Amino acid sequence: MPFIPHTEAEIKAMLDVIGAVEIEDLFDEIPANLRSEITDDVDLGISEMEISQIMQKRALQDSGGICFIGAGAYEHHIPAAVWQIATRGEFYTAYTPYQAEASQGTLQLLYEYQSMMTALLAMEVSNASMYDGASALAEAVLMAVRANRKSKSRKILIPQTLHPAYRKVVKNIVQYQKIEMIELPFDIATGRTDLTALEQYQKEDICALVINQPNFFGVLEEVDALTAWTEDKETLAIGVVNPLAMALLKPAGEWGTNGVDICVGDGQPLGIPLASGGPFYGFMCCKQKIVRQMPGRIIGKTVDLEGKAGFTLTLQAREQHIRRSKATSNICTNQGLMVTGSTIHMAMLGAQGLANVAASCHNKTNQLVESLTALRGVKPVFEKSPHFHERVIQLPIAPQKALKMMAAHNILGGYDLSRDYPELKNSLLVCATECRTTDDIANYTNKLERVIDTQMGAACNLRPEGF
């Protein structure tokens, strides 16, 4: 971007027009405790080379450890070609393709993305993406309330086994829409949603049921039984899935007899790198019969007057395109760059490649858990339930202390479940993707063994170096 300078007189003239004394007045709504102080580390008039060196040092402070966390953000191998292509100028700066005649490349890519997602999830329609998986679920709940005209209750059943962040985001977004989110408990022995908990709602008006696969614990839910329950009650089913898992497991569009009505999730596992908390993007698919309630936009393929194939926006239910009162959402967007990366990633791997990655992740996680549970006091949790990608283990010590000590040795050891599930005391959610090597797993096991010995006092007189 070019730098456009303003003189002091120009700045004063602009401030006078809006009634501000100085530029700082424009930020007075930001609390003082949230403002950053002026750093003393960067001198005025510093050269480009010097500022680059300072920023490189800052970046190194955020160096990534060997990651075994998972919990909704996964480190997968991304072929180098994916982002070499995605960051080409014609993709890197592309925005909403308002002018079809000037945006055929972007439109075709989004059309291919939609086609891939419907094939992966066995659904009929896909939109051109959302902000992230959590907000996509919130939009799916709002969509279900609009689409299920037989229900007057605005009650949504949501499992406790769903990602805690998803549940919080959904509540924040829909709570002022007079929508009631009712949590379903899970079986402490299996880690699955308790099917018997549905019995009390058998004769009650329920708008939709959220079904996740796999759930937050990595356990595979009884999706056919849950979907069948919604079909018997004429309640809408909302699937929340890991898209990589759908390459190996039964896709959401085939659950029960007729599949789910809406399917959402986060596209991060499909070629999006981990980058200190982002970026992410959400996907949303649905059945054709409720497509007009879907937020976002849909790209369609057609032919021009000369019979040549072309692409255009065929459904635009955002407030930028239609009257706000008729819009299905005013927050959804096309995360264009992320979708570009995912489309290239899926095209390069293909269906079998995605399935191979999913199988490798499953095997690596099993290898990790087998290695860790051989340690003193470490036990598998929900071991009799089928699982994918991540597992729960119980430590003989507090996970918080263990994770802190592991992080000091550049190992991100997992997610402490006791923060969100007090009943799972000393439980740790661990994950190993295809990126984790046998040496990584051995290193983790060795370090965790030392942490346990140190914490339990067994090595008080033989304290290992570094602890």
| Ordered per-residue pLDDT tens for the chain, 467 residues | 455 688 899 999 999 999 999 998 999 899 988 887 776 677 778 888 988 888 888 887 776 789 999 999 999 999 999 999 998 877 877 666 767 777 888 889 999 999 999 999 999 999 988 889 999 999 999 999 999 999 999 999 999 999 999 999 999 999 999 999 999 999 999 999 999 999 999 999 999 999 999 999 999 999 999 999 999 999 999 999 999 999 999 999 999 999 999 999 999 999 999 887 778 999 999 999 999 899 888 899 999 889 999 998 888 765 556 666 676 775 555 578 899 999 999 999 999 999 999 999 999 999 999 999 999 999 999 999 999 989 999 999 999 999 999 999 999 999 999 999 999 999 999 999 999 999 999 999 999 999 999 988 754 444 444 44
**pLDDT number for residue 459:** 44
144 phi/psi in degrees, rounded to 5: -60, -40
Amino acid at 147: A
Q: How crowded is residue 412: how many other Cβ atoms within 10 Å of its Cβ?
A: 17
Between CA 292 and CA 289 the distance in angstroms is 8
Contacts 24+ apart (CB under 8 A), 143-146: 143/262, 143/286, 143/290, 143/293, 143/294, 143/295, 143/328, 144/207, 144/208, 144/236, 144/238, 144/261, 144/262, 145/177, 145/179, 145/207, 145/208, 146/293, 146/328
Same CATH topology for 66-75+358-456 and 80-345?
A: no
DSSP-assigned beta bridge partners for residue 180? 155
Q: Structural domain boundaries of the chain?
A: 8-60, 66-75+358-456, 80-345
Residue 39's CB: how many other CB atoms inside 10 A? Answer: 7
CB 336 within 8 A of CB 229: no
**Class of 80-345 per CATH?**
alpha beta
| CA–CA separation, 260 and 250 (whole Å) | 12
**Domain 66-75+358-456 maps to which CATH number in 3.20.20.70, 3.30.530.20, 3.90.1150.10, 3.30.565.10?**
3.90.1150.10
User: Which pLDDT value is given to residue 460?
Assistant: 47
Tell me: cis bond preceding 279? Omega within 30 of 0 counts.
yes
User: Residue 56's pLDDT is what?
Assistant: 86
- Residue in the block written with tokens 């992230």: 132
Longest Cα pair distance anywhere in the chain, in angstroms? 85
Q: Residue 333: what pLDDT?
A: 57
Q: How far apart are CA 289 and CA 140, in angstroms?
A: 15
Residue 320 zone, left/alpha/beta (φ > 0; ψ -120 to 50; rest): alpha
What's the per-residue H, E or C state across the chain?
Answer: CCCCCCCHHHHHHHHHHHCCCCHHHHHCCCCHHHCCCCCCCCCCCCCHHHHHHHHHHHHHCCCCCEECCCCCCCCCCCCHHHHHHHCCHHHHCCCCCCCHHHCHHHHHHHHHHHHHHHHHHCCCEECCCECCHHHHHHHHHHHHHHHCCCCCCCEEEEECCCCHHHHHHHHHHHHHHCCEEEEECECCCCCCECHHHHHHHCCCCCCEEEEEECCCCCECCCHHHHHHHHHHHCCEEEEEECCCHHHCCCCHHHCCCCCCCEEEEECCCCCCCCCCCCCCCEEEEECHHHHHHCCCEEEEEEECCCCCEEEEEEEECECCCCCHHHCCECCCCCCHHHHHHHHHHHHHHHHHHHHHHHHHHHHHHHHHHHHHCCCCCCEEECCCCCECCEEEEECCCCHHHHHHHHHCCCEECCEEHHHCCCCCCCEEEEECCCCCCHHHHHHHHHHHHHHHHHHHCCCCCCCCCCC
CB 132 within 8 A of CB 240: no
